[in-house]
Chain A
Amino acid sequence: MKPAFLLAAATVAVAVLATVPLYANGYQLSLAITLMNYTVLATAWTLFSGPTRYVSLATVAFFGIGAYTAAVLAERMAWPWILLIALAVGLAVALIVGLSTLRLSGVYFVIFTFGLAELIRQIVTWYEVNVTRTLGRYIFVGIDPADIYWQLLGLAVLVFAAGIVIRRSRLGLALRVIGDDETVARHVGINTTIAKVALFALSAAFMTLCGAVMAPRWTYIDPAIAFSPVVSFQVLIMALLGGVHRLYGPLFGVVPLVLLFEFLLARFPNHFSILVGLAFMLIVYAIPQGIVGFVERMVRRKGEAA
């Protein structure tokens, strides 16, 4: 397919998606927001973890930083400023984490991100209890669900654009080499640390913004809500189900799993975590390459047979 055709198709798709709030009812719009939210998060996750194969378990840490920053600043300044400040905080944390762990082997990074959300949650709780003396905040801003949806759609377009630009750049090539073999990457003169940290920060920036945009969805927020580990887990499972070696891969995981989780939460609220865990293990064991990888392999096999 020609790039011009793809671009036109993508434009039409975005335009169609942008009209959803005009005719959707309340429930449909909230489902659309959830879908868009996880699309942004899972694609941002794939942006970094796909090519480098470093599993980040800290999605909700950044998502929560964004949400909480927005909650704290909600009535103090105009919305664009809030997004900018949230972005700055998220970037700062990402740089600290990246610079201290990404110089080393991947396991350190995984371990660090494993507890990062819990750490930030405890620090925020400590700060709220001791300094501001209020645990939990109410968010009242004049942003309705349609606005949230459009902002998320904008973010989604940005994530995909960033992903495509990076893939074609020297940075993208460098990251693919790192993913294949980090020692080789170092030997051909790639500064692996800078490449990894830059991309990790970019990925974290999108997650933070996503959290800030989503904050007005809750009218009440506290650290336990903002930093719920289930979010990291769901993003990871969606990205893996779709396939992380293609930028559009996570889409194929987000849509079925958001619908499945919606169903499971409504039908089996008490057994949700067990069922999601089992679904996750099923994916890890049965389709490690994700749906996209699985389909690609089938197509290739058919091509060979013919």
Chain B
Amino acid sequence: MFAAAVTSGLVLGGMYALIAMGLTLQYGVARIMNLAHGELMIAAAFAAFWLFTSAAVNPLVGLLLVVPAAFAISWAIYRLLLIPLVARAPNRDALEVDSILATFGMLFVIQGVMLVMFGGAYYSYSFLAFPVTIAGATVAANRLLALAFAAVIGVALYLYLTRTRLGTAVRAVAVDPQSAPLVAIDVRATAALAFAFGGALVAAGGVLVSMFLTFNANIGVVFTMKALIVVIMGGVGNLLGCLVAGLILGLAETFVATFVDPGLTLATTYAIFLIILLVRPQGLFGTASR
């Protein structure tokens, strides 16, 4: 039971980390606090579900369709809907408030569209749902696969950000958007890129999660919240922090669900969030700045 809790905690934590990496890119680089983040994830989950059940498309192939689409959609959202907010905001705080409000509206629009299309029922599909035994624990193959994919995507993102020119530009904007133009970085284009990458990541998370979790049109909010908590726990803009915090959250939730009561997982999340806020508000790996 213990080993099972650890493995499923790691899988869940890996998903949280992946989703939170998307959010930390959007918030850390583009300065957009995106409350519709989880909605995009659930939309991707529904897309994978629809592709699998009606067109018999393997979710891993679906990933190749859904993720680029999410990238394009997020890029368009930033260029069309968020640039006006960036342009009118006198400072960073004002942009934060405006982006919270705008994405809060988007949340209800996207959720409403999904409710119209799929209703409020829970959905799931069966893909690679056979058990695999690893180190004494039995796990469904689809969960392991999801974790492996999350790890690959995470590593790829990390290498991209640290090893390429474009990735370095993204990090430069995160550190200091005022100085970045001095070294010929187009801040808006870079921010749009980061925002689009965030959307692509969360869509990947949605497709992977849809392979082993049941989901419905209303559940995105919960994922947004957990992603926000992971981002703050890890320190805003810190990918490694996201990974560690995501795993901590996933493990803590699974342990509480296994050994205490499944109804208390969200309470656990909040308890962790409270402790972080009280003890280390800048996050586990963040530096005290504001």
Which A positions have Cβ atoms within 8 angstroms of B? 53, 55, 57, 100-101, 104-108, 110-112, 114-115, 118-119, 122-123, 125-126, 129-130, 229, 233, 236, 240, 270-278, 280-281, 284-285, 288
CA distance A130 to B105 in the complex (A): 35
* Given A108-B232, A130-B263, A270-B116, 5 other A-B residues pairs in contact with their CB atoms under 8 A: A57-B104, A115-B228, A126-B261, A284-B98, A284-B102
**Contact call A271/B116, Cβ cutoff below 8 A:** yes
Binding stretch for chain A, among B53-61, B150-158, B237-245, B266-274? B266-274
The yes or no answer to B136 lying at the interface (CB within 8 A) is no
Does the CB pair B278–A100 fall under 8 Å? yes
State in angstroms the CA–CA spacing of A100 and B276 once bound together: 10
Q: How far is the CA of A29 from the CA of B279 in the complex (A)?
A: 50
Residues of A within 8 A of B228 (CB): 111, 114-115
Q: A278-B105, A284-B105 are in contact. Are A122 and B96 (CB under 8 A)?
A: no
- B225 closest partner in A (C-beta): A115
Cβ of A107: which chain B residues have Cβ within 8 Å of it? 33, 96
Which residues from A are CB-within-8-Å of B281? 104, 108
Interface residues of B in 216-239 (CB under 8 A from A): 221-222, 224-225, 228-229, 232
B113 within 8 A of A: yes
A278 touches B104 (CB 8 A): no
Q: Which B residues are CB-close (under 8 A) to A270?
A: 115-116
How far is it, in angstroms, between the C-alpha of A236 and the C-alpha of B107 when the chains are bound?
14
Q: In the complex, which range does the number of interface residues on chain B fall in?
A: 35 or more
Find the residue from A112, A123, A125, A130 having the highest chain B CB count within 10 A: A112
How long is the Cα–Cα vector from A100 to B124 in the complex, in angstroms?
38
Contact A118 B225 (CB under 8 A): yes
> Is residue B290 within 8 Å, beta carbon to beta carbon, of the partner chain?
yes
How far, in whole Å, are A130 and B5 apart by their CA atoms in the complex? 23
Q: Is B175 an interface residue (CB 8 A)?
A: no
Min CB–CB distance A47 → chain B (angstroms): 17
Instruction: Select B222's contact among A118, A130, A278, A285, beta carbons within 8 Å.
Output: A118
Contact A122–B267 (Cβ < 8 Å): yes
Which B residues form the contact surface with A (CB < 8 A)?
A: 33, 35, 81, 84-85, 88, 93, 96-98, 100-102, 104-113, 115-116, 221-222, 224-225, 228-229, 232, 261, 263-264, 266-267, 270, 273-274, 277-278, 281, 290
Residues of B contacting A108 in the complex (Cβ-Cβ under 8 angstroms): 232, 277, 281
Q: Is the CB of B112 within 8 A of A271?
A: yes
Contacting residues, chain A, for B222 (C-beta < 8 A): 115, 118
Tell whether, in the assembled complex, residue A281 and residue B274 are in contact, meaning their CB atoms are under 8 Å apart: no
The 3 lowest CB-CB distance pairs between A and B, nearest first, are A277-B108, A273-B112, A274-B112
Instruction: State in angstroms the CA–CA spacing of A119 and B225 once bound together.
Output: 10
The CA of A136 and the CA of B266, in the complex, are separated in Å by: 21
A274-B270 Cα distance, complex, nearest whole Å: 29
Q: Is the CB of B277 within 8 A of A229?
A: no
| A112 with B273: CB separation less than 8 A | yes
Instruction: Please state if B263 and A119 are interface contacts (CB–CB under 8 Å).
Output: no
Q: Choose among A104, A126, A280 the residue that contacts B105 (Cβ–Cβ < 8 A).
A: A280
Contact indicator B112/A111 (Cβ below 8 Å): no
* A-B CB contact pairs (8 Å), 11 listed: A101-B277, A104-B281, A111-B232, A115-B221, A129-B263, A130-B261, A271-B116, A272-B112, A277-B112, A278-B105, A285-B84
Q: Is the CB of B100 within 8 A of A55?
A: yes
Residue numbers in B under 8 Å from A53 (CB-CB): 97
* Distance in Å: Cβ of B107 to nearest Cβ of chain A: 7
Decide: B106 and A277 in contact? CB cutoff 8 A. yes
In the complex, what residues of A have CB within 8 A of residue B88's CB? 288
Report A45 CB to chain B, min CB distance, Å: 13
Residue of A nearest to B231 (CB): A111
Bound Cα distance A276, B273 (Å): 31
B75 to chain A, nearest CB (A): 19
CA distance A272 to B290 in the complex (A): 39
* Set of chain B residues within 8 Å of A278, measured between Cβ atoms: 105, 109
B278 touches A122 (CB 8 A): no
Nearest CB on B from A116, distance (A) = 8
Write the chain A residue with the least CB distance to B94: A53
Asked, given contacts A276-B108, A280-B108, whether A115 binds B264 with beta carbons under 8 Å apart, the answer is: no
- A119 to B35: give the CA distance in the assembly, Å: 17
CB neighbours of A276 from chain B (8 A)? 108, 112
Whether the pair B104, A236 counts as a contact (CB closer than 8 A) is yes
Known: A271-B112, A284-B102. A122 touches B263 (CB 8 A): yes
Which residues from A are CB-within-8-Å of B115? 270, 273
CA of A240 to CA of B102 in the docked complex: distance in angstroms? 12
**CB-CB < 8 A to B101: which residues of A?**
55, 236, 240, 280, 284
What is the chain B residue whose CB lies nearest that of A279? Answer: B105
